[in-house]
Every structure is written in structure tokens, then in C-alpha cells.
Amino acid sequence: MLSNIKAILKNSAIYGFGNLSTKLAGFILIPIYTSHFSVAEFGVLSMMEVTAQVIIAVFGLSLYQGFFRWYWDKGMAGRQKGLFFTVTMILIGVSLVTAAILFPLLNTISVWFFQTAEYSYLLKMMLIASLMQMVMVMPSTLLRLQEKAVLYTATNLIQLSVNLFFTIFFIIHFHQKVEGIYHAQIIGSVVYFLVLFRFIIKNSAFRFETKVLKDMLVFCYPLILSAISGVIFNVTDRYSLKILGDLQNVGIYSLGFKITNTLYVFVITSVMFAIQPMIYKKMDAPDNKRFYSKLMTYLTFGIMFFVLGVMLFGKEIIKVLAQKTAYWDAYQIIPFLAYAILFGMFKDIATTGLNITKKTKIIAITVALMAALNIALNFVFIPFLHNMGAALSKMLSQIVFFVIIYRSSQKVYPIPYEIMKLMKMLILGIALYFLSLLTNDMQLIWRLTIKTAMIASFPVILYFMNFYEKIELETMYGGWNKWRNLSRFKENLKTIHF
């Protein structure tokens, strides 16, 4: 168990750097966006981002998931290169057909959605960038399958650097608006392809695996519906705010969302990248259910520190990143979105049993129902609570989503998840957040000190809540004794083996 946890931590750290993709450029560049874009223009950027997610979900056909499932299948021994070539060519073909169909319609779409044709060019750039990203997910997936975490990280950092450079160049030097971001993304995707060109050719065999492709499409069909519904579920908050409010609301909400979403992009995605292969490798192991159970508990314990950091310091983070006071109210929605992301992680882990038993239809149906629920909640709460209503709808939908997936999965593949321990962490997190509100009128130095102390107290308070098992306390005590002597730090470091 300990060796598995160490492996996850190692690969999570590597993937953590690799996940600095084009999406992260949007977070890193927030100070530039908020100083050069109005709140409404920031709202336009958010609408472009969520529309890109819809395009990738609809036209990507979830083929990368099928590729993930079939690549190491026994029947594919010696045929993986042909499979990679087949799926990549299909995605390229779909991208070209999609562009040919949608390009003539974008002027009309701009007028219909934004009441002006001036965004038609921006829509074209967003469409090109999205379709390129949809194709480039294949070499990225192959790097994960072959566990080339270092190469994965290096290539993504190169792409990020290119995106950052050209985004800053286009916005500051050429005074471009949102279109400059997509110009930079297109250049970044081209550079990413060129860097991985030899790797792509090396892992390609110029033949079509037609029969396997048919099997993959059957497998992916529920996942396609699930992916589309999932994207709808994730983006309806901003579409609803645009329909029921205006781009000002979308801009403020989007800033809070970007700040909170760092939990997902930096931390949760990195860890999930590391644990997904291990989940399937442990499928037939005798201790697999205990591993899955402890995985959820330990993962939640570690991520709660980041959740608390974002929740407690949300106000300070927003003020540092956004120079215009019009953006500052965004901090109020962060706690709701943070817990929405946390319950989303619970749901993803709880699907383990459904994936192992190949009950993907249950996932697809549930995602569709939750997308409908989220839309309904948005129409209930947004007219009265505006941005707060959208965030509340997101959190409530994710809670219901987790409960349904958990119950469905337990029926077909029971796993003894430690639900009471999860509840203790969640309740303690809420309590610490409300206590932190009492410090908001204090001087900055006192606020920072007290809030930091609150986060540090999290594992200590859990001890008095009877959270830890005896073996966990013994392990922590042994680790403390080992590492507290700083003079033996180098010697102890050499004893770590992954």
C-alpha cells in the first residue's frame, strides 16, 4: 500500500508540471487579462472557453478513452501503432469536416448569441484552436499510456511557454483582445506537434485497425453521451448567467471559477493522471478494494489543504490578481465552487466500480440527468442570487451526482469507502471557513497569520475527532522521528525509493 502511495505521489508531482497546458495560461495571465480586458470582455473569454469544451466533447467522440482502454489489451499486442494511427486519422478527418461545416455558420452564430457579428473572427480562431487541441490529445494520451511522465511534462511546458510568450506579445504589443489568446494557442499547438513529431511517427503504423475501431466506437458511445452531458453540466453556469444576466456577471463568476479551478487543474488532474493506470492494474489484486477505499480517504485528506487555502485566502488572492475593483466580488463564490470540485473528485473515484464492471451506460444516464438538474437549479437560483446562485447550483448538482454514482457503483461492485472520515473532513473544512470570516476586517498581517494557523490546525483537530487509525498514527510518529533531525536530512533522503 505504501509503495503504491509513493508511486502516486511521484507521478502526481511530475504530471503536476505537465498539466501546465494551454488552459493554465489563462490562470497565469489573469493579472494581464483583468488589467487589459473589461469585465464584459473577460466574460466573452469565458464564453469562448466553455464553447471550446463543448466542441471537443461533441466532436472528439471520446475516442481517446477507448484508445486508453484498448492499448494494453492482450488482443492488441503488436498492433498498438496501427491503433494509434487509426484513431489519430479519424480525429483529423472529423476536425476537417467540422471546420468545413461550421465556418460558414459562425457569422450567424455570433449575431444570434452576442447580438453582433464582430465576434465571428474570434469564433473562427477558437474553433481552429479547439480542433487542434482535440487531435493533439492523442499523442498526449500515448505518453501517459507509456508512462513517459518526464517527456509528457517537458512537451507541455514547452507548449505553455510558447502560449504565454505569444499571448503577452499579442495583447501588450499588438493590443489584441481575446483573439490574441487563440492566436497564441494555435501557435502553441503547432510547436507541440513539431516537438513530438518523431515520437508520433515512431509510434505509428500506416494501417487502419477497422475492426477494433468499430469495437471502440461501441464502447465509446455511452462515453460520448457522458462527455457531452458532462461538458453541458460544467458550462451551463456561464451560459445561464449570460442568458439570465449579462456578460458582467459572467466575467465576475469566471474569475472566481478560474481561481478555484486551479484545484482541479494543478492538483486533482495531476493525481488522477497518476492513479488511473494504477486503478486498472490493481483490478485483480487481492487488496484492491482496500486500496480504492484508502485512495479516496488519503486523496481527500491531502487535497483539503489546497481547498482550505483557496477558500480561506480567496479574498486576498482575488485582490492580488485583479487590479480593477469591479472583479473583487468574485471571492464570494469560491467556497461553493471549491466544494463542487471536491464532490466532483469523489464522484470520479466512486465510478471505479462501474468502470471495472463496464457499466458505462449508468454513468452516461446519470451525467445527462445531472446536466438537466444543473440547468433547472440555475434557473431557480440565478435570478435571485446571480453569481452566488450559479455557484450554489454547481455545488448542489455535484453533491447529488456523487450520491447517485456512489449508490449505483456500490450495488455492482461494493467498495468500503470511509464515508464517515470524508464527512469529518468536509464538516471541519466548513467550520474553519466560517471562523476565517471573522478575520476579514483585521489588518492583512493578522489575517494571513490566523488563516495560515487555521489550515495548519486541520490535521491536529482531526486527531481529536478520532480520524486516524492506530497504524496511521504509528506511521506519522515514525516519520516525525525520522525527519525531525535536520542533520540527517541527506541521509534520510537517500533511503527513499520509488
Provide the 8-state DSSP code for 145: H
Sorting pLDDT into bands at 50, 70 and 90, what band is 483?
low
> Three cell numbers at 248?
458582467
What confidence tens digit (pLDDT) does each residue in 80-92 have? 899 999 999 999 9
Instruction: For residue 262, give Cα distances in angstroms to 26, 128, 256, 270, 337.
Output: 11, 25, 10, 11, 11
Helix, strand, coil % over all residues of the chain, rounded to 5: 85, 0, 15
pTM: 0.72
Backbone angles phi, psi at 15, to 5 degrees: -65, -25
Is residue 95 within 8 Å of residue 59, measured between CB atoms? Answer: yes
What confidence tens digit (pLDDT) does each residue in 390-447 have? 999 999 999 999 999 999 999 988 989 999 999 999 999 999 999 999 998 889 999 9
What residues contact residue 430 under an 8 Å CB cut-off, 6+ apart? none
Sorting pLDDT into bands at 50, 70 and 90, what band is 115?
confident
pLDDT of residue 426: 96
pLDDT at 378 over 50: yes
What confidence tens digit (pLDDT) does each residue in 192-220 have? 999 999 999 999 998 898 888 888 887 77
Name the H helices within 60-148: 63-70, 80-102, 106-114, 120-145
Q: What is the C-alpha to C-alpha distance for residues 472 and 484, in angstroms, rounded to an integer?
A: 18
The beta-carbon contacts of 399-404 under 8 Å, at least 24 apart in sequence, are 399/343, 400/370, 400/373, 401/233, 401/343, 401/344, 401/347, 401/366, 401/367, 401/370, 402/343, 402/344, 402/346, 402/347, 402/350, 404/366, 404/369, 404/370
In this structure, the chain runs to a length of: 498
Instruction: For residue 242, give Cα distances in angstroms to 23, 70, 73, 254, 374.
Output: 22, 41, 45, 11, 15
Tell me what the pLDDT averaged over the chain comes to. 84
Sorting pLDDT into bands at 50, 70 and 90, what band is 291?
confident
What residues contact residue 394 under an 8 Å CB cut-off, 6+ apart? 237, 336, 337, 340, 374
pLDDT of residue 498: 41
pLDDT of residue 479: 64
Instruction: For residue 226, give Cα distances in angstroms to 63, 95, 231, 234, 364.
Output: 13, 20, 9, 12, 4
> Three cell numbers at 102?
461550421
pLDDT of residue 22: 47
* 114 vs 226: which has the higher pLDDT: 114
Is residue 156 within 8 Å of residue 19, measured between CB atoms? Answer: yes
